[in-house]
Amino acid sequence: MLRGIVLFLLLANGVFFAWSQGLLAAYGLAPAPVSEPQRLAQQIHPELVVVVPPHSEAAASAPAETVASAPANPANLSEPAECLTAGLFDVARGTQLAKTLGDALPAGTWSMEPGVEPGRWMVYMGRYASADLLERKKAELRGMRIKFEAAPANLEPGLSLGSFDNEAAANKLLGEVTQHGVRTAHVVAERLETHGMRLKLPSVDAALKTQLDALKPALGGKALKTCPA
């Protein structure tokens, strides 16, 4: 019995080998050919096959909807809103500006707040009676190696040795230049402390900025600046 099974298996293996090698093709017994050109004939729509470079696999596999939804121009993304301020305005101009903004801008996008512009003090020499005297004073200061510049228009002809936001700092400089030999300098108020109104726009986006461009004449030459930290 066992010998019969072994002989059957050997015979079956021999027949399979002969079939797989095409030795029985003359009897109509042979596997389907897999070599060219028969393999080409089995392809389905080969013209639709696209070879994708390795680095493009991720992009090729992405859904079409994702690609279509990507922004065409990243530069068009909205800019973050910023806080802007302008002023100081006197009460009359500030009141008029508030009326103009109320008619032109959405409520809550702006406010007029009280503001103070601090005074400014200067160590000053002048006024001089002639241009010659002014030039002599300049020469003296150069000889002492003391820095100076022309005084503001309302104090010409004269010289400024320094300008400060507080009177104490101006007096300190006056003491220093006096020790170096300057005898005719003194401290003057270049600008007195001024009270008024200041415009504040806490959150200016691109759309609001476009509206503000049309309102620049109402600001009376006051520039919009970034709010102080």
- What is the structure's pLDDT at 174? 97
Q: Where are the domains of the chain?
A: 82-117+194-226, 120-191
CATH topology classification for 120-191: Alpha-Beta Plaits (3.30.70)
How much is the pTM?
Answer: 0.48
Among all chains, which residue has been given the structure tokens 């809550």?
A: 108
Q: What DSSP string describes 109-141?
A: S-EEEEEEE--EEEEEEE--SSHHHHHHHHHHH
Instruction: Name the pairing type of β-strands 149-150 and 158-164.
Output: antiparallel
Q: What is the pLDDT of residues 27-48, one digit of tens each?
A: 666 666 655 555 556 666 566 5
CA distance 177 to 228: 34
Of 176, 141, 179, the closest CA to residue 160 belongs to 141
Which tens digits make up the pLDDT trace of 80-115? Answer: 889 999 989 999 999 999 999 999 999 999 999 999
- pLDDT recorded at residue 64: 46
Answer yes or no: same fold for 82-117+194-226 and 120-191: yes
DSSP 60-84: HHS-HHHHHHS-S-GGGSPPPPEEE
List own/partner pairs for 89-92 with CB under 8 A and 24 or more apart: 89/196, 89/197, 89/198, 89/199, 89/220, 89/222, 90/196, 90/197, 91/196, 91/197
Render pLDDT for 133-149 as a digit per residue (tens, 0 to 9). 999 999 999 999 999 99
CATH of domain 82-117+194-226: 3.30.70.240
Look at the block and give the residue holding tokens 């068009």.
76
Q: What is the pLDDT of residue 68?
A: 47
